[in-house]
Amino acid sequence: MSDAALDAVIAKITGLLAGWDRSTTVPEMRRDNDALYAHDKVPAEVTEVSAGGVKASWIEAGDAGEPAARLGRLILYLHGGGFHIGSVASHFGLIARLSAAARCRVLALEYRLAPEHRFPAPLEDSLAAYDWLLGQGYEPANIAFAGDSAGGGLALSTMLALRDRGSPLPVAAAVMSPWTELEASGESYVSRAAEDPMFTRKTVLGLASSYLDGATDPRDPRAAPLYGELAGLPPLMIQSGERDILLDDSRRFAEKATAAGVDVTLDLWPGMIHVFQLFGADLPQAREAIVKLGTYLEAKLA
C-alpha cells in the first residue's frame, strides 16, 4: 500500500468530520456516515428479514459458495458507530467481503441506536436475534459472531450475557477495534491521540455518556465487556490497527481473556487506523485483513 492510499482515506474521514458542528443533527450524521462508505460496491444477495423483531439483512456474497450456504453456517454481524450512527448500509462492503472470505451467509443486524434507544437496547436486540436464529433451527456450532468498534464490544457483551443465562454460545467470534470499556482509560487514548483521525478521547467519552445516559455504571459488563468475568468464552480473534486510539481496548481485553483461559488471537496492523477494514475499496490491507478474519471464522465454523 502506498502512503497516498492511506492519506486519501484519512482525508475522507477528516473531511467528513470537519463538516459536523454543534448544529449537525444525529440523522444528518447517520446519512453522512453511510455515504462515506457507499462506494464499496461488492456483489451480494440481500434479503431483509425480521430477526426476533429486529430489522436485519441476510447478506451473501456472490462468491461465498453454495456448499457453505447449504450447510447452514452463518455469521451474526453487529456494526459499529458508537451506538449512535452506523448501519448495514455503511458496513455493507465490509460485511459482503467477510461473507466471501468466510464462505457463508451473514445476518447483519440493524440494532436500535442512541439517543432514541439507549443502553441496554442494542444488547436486547442482539440477544433477540440470536434467540431467533436458534429458534429457526440453526446450531450454535454453525454460528459465529463478528463486529467492529461498538458492534465488536456488543458482540463480546452478548456472549457474556448468553453465558451468564446458561445459553449455548456461538462457536467463535471475530471483532475489529472493539470498544470494550467506556471510560477511555487505556494508555492509547493518550499515545495515539495525534495519530487517529477518527476519534478523540473527548468524543469517545461523549458517546459513552449519551449511550448510558447516567443510568448505568460504565463498568457494567453488559456495556463494557472488559470488566466482565471472561472465562468460558469461545475462541476469539481481535483485529486492530496500531494507530487506533482504541488500541488498548483490544490489547487489554485480549490480555484479560487469555489469562481467563480463552483462546485469543490478537492481530495488530502497523500503520492502520480505527476499523480500517471499512475501506476495502481503498486499502489492500483492509482486504487482506478481512480475508484473514474470514479464514479464521470459516475454520471454526467447519
Known catalytic residue at 79: no
Distances (CA, A) of 16 to 21, 241, 256: 11, 20, 35
Q: Is 57 helix (H, G, I), strand (E, B) or coil?
A: strand
CA geometry: angle at 283 spanning 29 and 42, to 5°? 70
Is residue 207 within 8 Å of 238, Cβ to Cβ? no
Please tell me the distance from the alpha carbon of residue 244 to that of residue 191, in angstroms, as a whole number: 10
Would you tell me how many other CB atoms lie within 10 Å of the CB of residue 26?
14
- Are the CB atoms for 259 and 236 separated by under 8 Å? no
Active-site position among 34, 148, 244, 248? 244
Active site residue 267: no
Q: Which of 149, 177, 240, 250 is catalytic?
A: 149
Single out the catalytic residue among 40, 125, 274, 282.
274
Amino acid at 168: P
* Cell, residue 46: 440481500
DSSP E strands: which ranges in the chain?
44-51, 54-61, 74-78, 105-109, 143-148, 172-176, 236-241, 264-269
**244 an active-site residue?**
yes
Cis peptide before 115 (omega within 30 of 0): yes
Where is 130: in which H helix or E strand? helix 121-135
For 292, the enclosing helix (H) or strand (E) is helix 284-301
**Residues with catalytic annotation?**
149, 244, 274
